Each structure stands twice: as structure tokens, then as C-alpha cells.
Structure 1
Amino acid sequence: MPHPIHPHQSPPQRINMTFKSAITVSLVEEARGGPFVYWDGLKDACEKSAALGFDAIEIFAPGPNAVDEAELKGLLQEHGLVVAAVGTGAGMVKHGLSLTHAEADHRAKARDFVKQMIDFGGKYNAPAIIGSMQGKWGGDISRDQALAFLREALDELGPYAAQYNVPLFYEPLNRYETNLLRTVDEGVEFCKTLSTDNIKLLADLFHMNIEEADLAAAIRAGKGYVGHIHFVDSNRQAAGMGHMNHEPIIQALKDIGYDGYLCAEAFALPDSDTAARNTIEAFKRLTA
């Protein structure tokens, strides 16, 4: 339970009025061991993240009906949290769906799954994320054809998300996870080819550490397109646990007027509680 506020005690102040902190919780058993901080249910994640001072949680759920709406709304209200975003990766991890699959019926099922996740997140004003569901090109599908399929999907899904007054986040991934778009610049150029303007980029510092020559410069070049940050270190552990220099990155985010979430999509190393604590301490230090 939250600590009571005494009559003459001021409410706790937010650490920073520009950046907001968030932390990931996975409900997908098939992904256990992946880069998510909390794994033991929404109640556990909400209690612990609120106690540390996080503003929000990012939910990785098996599907749109995996979360009890009344339970989640109650937990958010009780702990003063919101939902920063919802992942769609279970569509790939659990159901094997890809937006760039060769078969039209398969792609339609993938788009329908994303729509259902958009509906789920929309109840909490939370954007959905397209990451692993973007798929890859290869075999009978050329890169141009795969990008055409991805463009078709985003042009359908972006306007669908707009009914909830939220964007749809598209995440460039590193070379070991996709062979489509891997840098912020490639993401920006691709967004310019879309008919919808409701797609924003998720800039994940782990992926960027592999693909970008200069992370701060990449963020500045993404001005107007970067809508969400996965806030981690070079080894995909909590910020401060690797060799990444976060200060220029934070300055670049300030320079582009970014006012969204810095969300820990990090390995629970050495354990969830330590990873969460290390993240919030880095957040305080870097954004003070």
C-alpha cells in the first residue's frame, strides 16, 4: 500500500517534469528470461514500481484478453500509475504472426492481432508497439516486398490507433532481430513514405547501441518522429550497468523537446528488484 501523507506533509514531487519513468512487466511465459524487468504479475509490478517512484508500467501481454480490466484499473488507481505502452510481441512469440509474411491470410491475422492490442491499450490511453511482429524479408519475399507489406500494415494500423488519440509506435530493431529497418534514420525515411502521420518511432537504446554510430545524433535527427524510449544500457541491463554514456543521449532528448517516457525494457539482472532500483536511480541522476 502507498505510504499515507500526513496533514502537514506535502505530496511527493515528481523527479522531473519533462521526462517520465516507466518499467516493463511481462505476462508472457513463453518469453520468460527476455528483456523485461517484472515477471510476477501486475499486482507485484504495480506495488514495487510505485514504491520506487516510477510513473508508469509498460505491459507485454499474451493477448488482449489476458488482463482483467477492472483489476488493472484498480491497481493503477491505487498506486498512482498509468500504462505507458503495450507490446504486441506475443503475436510473434506466442502465435507466430508477422506483418510481412508471404501469405495474405497470415498478414491479415497479424494485423487483426495488433488491432486487438491497440483496443486493449486504448482503454488506458496507451499506444501499442510494433517490434518483433514486423518480421523479416527472405526466401520468396524480397526486401522491397516486405517493406511494402509493412507499409500496408502501418497505413492501416496507424489510423486505427488514432481513434484512441494515441500514436502507434514502430521500433527499428538491430540486425540480429530484423533485416528491415535498423536505425532511427531508416525509420524516419520510411515514415515519410506512409500515408498516415500517426506512426511514431520507438528508439530503443540497446538496438541503437548496435546500429547507430552516434546515438545522440540519431535522436536529434529523429526530431518530430521519436515517440518512446527504451531506456537501457549497452548490455540490455538497467541504465548504468553497461558502458553506454547516457548524458549526451538525455541532452539530445531535451534538445528535440522529447517529453515522453524513458522505459526500462531490460533484463532482470541480477534480479527484478535490483534492475528496477538501478533504473530509477539512473533516471533520477540523469534527469535531475
Structure 2
Amino acid sequence: MNPLGIHALVWAGGWSHAECEHAVRNTREAGYDLIEIPALDPATIDPSHTKSVLADHGLRAVCSLGLDLDADISSPDPEVVARGEAKLADALAVVTGVGGDYLGGAVYSALAKYGHPLDPRGRDNMIAGLRRLARAAADHGVTVGLEPVNRYESNAINTVADALAVITDVGEPNVVVHLDVYHANIEERDFTAPVVEAGDRLGYVHIGESHRGYLGTGTIDFPAFFAALAAAGYAGPVTFESFSRAVVSADLSDRLAVWRNMWSDGMDLAVHARRFIADGLAAAERTR
């Protein structure tokens, strides 16, 4: 069975002690195996408290983030790159501090709409920065995942092919593809090819509907995607991700272009998503 995870923003918009306890408790009550903690602002996370709460509920944790335009390792500006690398170092410290073994997302560029293509000098900086991050992560047994996101959220890695090219250039064994079906729905030609293309470099999977709401109520062909995962023998985490302004802070909602509430009851959404994913994976496995 794949470990099933859920993004913490289904439960809470921040990571105070109370929000951490609420999110972790609800994750366990909804039947998930792990929680994905957004490390967008690593300074707001108390790793020791989080680790203790996770242990109390028998949960694993991973972390994800996207960089900012003023702290972006894909920038041609050395000062902006330095701020981006510092933020990644802080996020890695959170991962290790909570006892996690994975850091993924848009760790390679800002999560933002760029007004220009990726600068070749910026790409060189990105490769060098990711190589340093991967080597530091390896010292702690942490895997780094590159999440292809749609063209409106990065100009650096939009497809699995983009991610694999960067992974090849980085040249470190602990760098993997973090495949998000929501973004694949925009950028890939179907829901099977990216899984096949990623091959044994596929290390983490995000599940989200085309409109970020309840699974099965949008346009994504989940049976095809689950069948591709089963055929590939993928055994890694499968994590549900959904955003609503009802929970996510206004600033982050604006950044993610979450303009409407697709849901308001996080527990109902989470329980439905877990059942949907588990049933879909099981059906795909039976027919493989």
C-alpha cells in the first residue's frame, strides 16, 4: 500500500502550536499516514514541538515549499540566489527537525507568474543551488523532490521532461520527480505518459482535482492516472492537496490564485479524498 498523505493547508492556514496540533490530530482521525507541512516561512515552524505532536499521533511528516521572487535560486542575480539558498537551508532544517525525510515542491524557482522565459544564467544558478541542497539533504537522509508546476506558477520546470533534464544536470541520486496531477492536467499530454516518463525517478505524488475541490468532481481522469501508477509499480507517498480561502490565509490564497471556496468542511473533504484515493489505487492494482 502507498502511504497516503494530506496537505496541512486542508486543516490550517498557519503553523502555530495550536494549528499544528489541530492539523496533526485531524490527519490521524481522517486515516492518513503522513502530513505535508508547507515550509513557506520556516521561521514560523517549531520543529521540536511538531516532532513531539507527530510522535503522539503516530504520523510521518514531509515538507514542501515554493520560493519567492526576491529569494529565487533561478535568478541571474547572485543576491536573490543567496536569499533563495538560505530559505532552502532553513526549510531543510525544518524537515530534519521534525524527523522527516522529504523536501519537495517548487524548490527550484519562485512560485509565481514570470513575465519572461528562464534566463540561461538563472538556470545555471538553479542547477548549482539544487546540487548544494541535494548534497546537504543527503547528509540527513532527505530526498529532494522537483515538482513540475504549470506555466503560470513557474518558468523553470513545467513538465516531467523539464524535471528530468534538471535532475540529470544536478547529478545527485537523492533528487526525484514530484508529480502533481493537477499541474499535469495543464501541461502534460495525458495522465499516463508523465508516470511512464518519470520511471524510477518518480518519488512523490500529489493528488488534486482540476478545480482544487472534491476529487471526482472535475475533469481529471483519475482511473487512467491510478492505472499508470499501478503499472509502474509506484510504492511511494500519494498526498492529497486542496486549497480553499475558507482555511488558507488571504495572502497565500492570493499567491495561489485561490479566489473561491471550493469547500468549507476540511474533515468531510479529507475523509472523502482518502476513500477516493484508496479505492482508486486498489481498483487499479486489481486490474493491473
TM-score, normalization by structure 1: 0.82
Post-superposition offset of 1:107:
0.5
2:82 is aligned with 1:108:
yes
Provide the rounded CA distance (Å) in 1 between the counterparts of 2:206 and 2:236: 11
Residue 137 of structure 1, CA deviation: 6.6
For residues 137 and 70 of structure 1, the distance between their equivalents in structure 2, rounded to whole angstroms, comes to 36
CA deviations over 1:169-207 (Å, ceiling 9, x no partner) = 111110111122211122112211223222111111111
Tell me, yes or no, if structure 1 residue 222 matches structure 2 residue 198. Answer: yes
Instruction: Select the structure that is richer in helix.
Output: 2
Q: Is 1:243 paired with 2:219?
A: yes
> Corresponding residue for 1:37?
10
Out of 67-76 and 44-53, give the one that drifted further: 67-76
1:21 CA displacement: 0.9
Which of 24, 27, 32 aligns to 2:7? It is: 24
Q: What is the aligned-residue RMSD (CA, Å)?
A: 2.1
Gap regions ≥5 residues in structure 1? 1-16, 26-35
SS in 2 for 1:285: helix
State the partner residue of 2:259: none
Q: Give 1:110 deviation, angstroms.
A: 0.9
After the TM superposition, which parts of structure 1 deviate over 4 Å for at least 4 consecutive aligned residues? 136-139
Q: In the alignment, what sits opposite 1:161?
A: 137
Indicate the percent of aligned positions where both proteins have the same amino acid. 23
For the pair shown, the structure with the greater C-alpha radius of gyration is 1
TM-score (norm 2): 0.82
Q: Which residue of 2 aligns with 1:4?
A: none
Change (3 A) 1:142 1:87: closer
Partner residue, 2:54: 76
Aligned to 1:265: 241
- Structure 1 residue aligned with 2:163: 187
Write the mapping of 1:40-119 to structure 2, written as runs, cut at 5 A.
41-83=19-61, 85-89=62-66, 91-92=67-68, 96-119=70-93
Q: Tell me by how many angstroms 1:256 deviates.
A: 2.1
Letter in 2 for 1:129: G
Change (3 A) 1:137 1:143: farther
2:104 matched to which residue of 1? Answer: 129
Kindly state the Cα deviation for residue 138 of structure 1 after the two structures are TM-superposed: 5.8
In the alignment of these two chains, the number of paired residues is 256
CA contact (8 A) 1:20 1:262 kept: yes
**Cα contact 1:57–1:82 (8 A) shared by 2:** yes
Partner of 2:274: 280
- Structure 2 residue runs of 5 or longer lacking an equivalent are 14-18, 245-261, 283-288
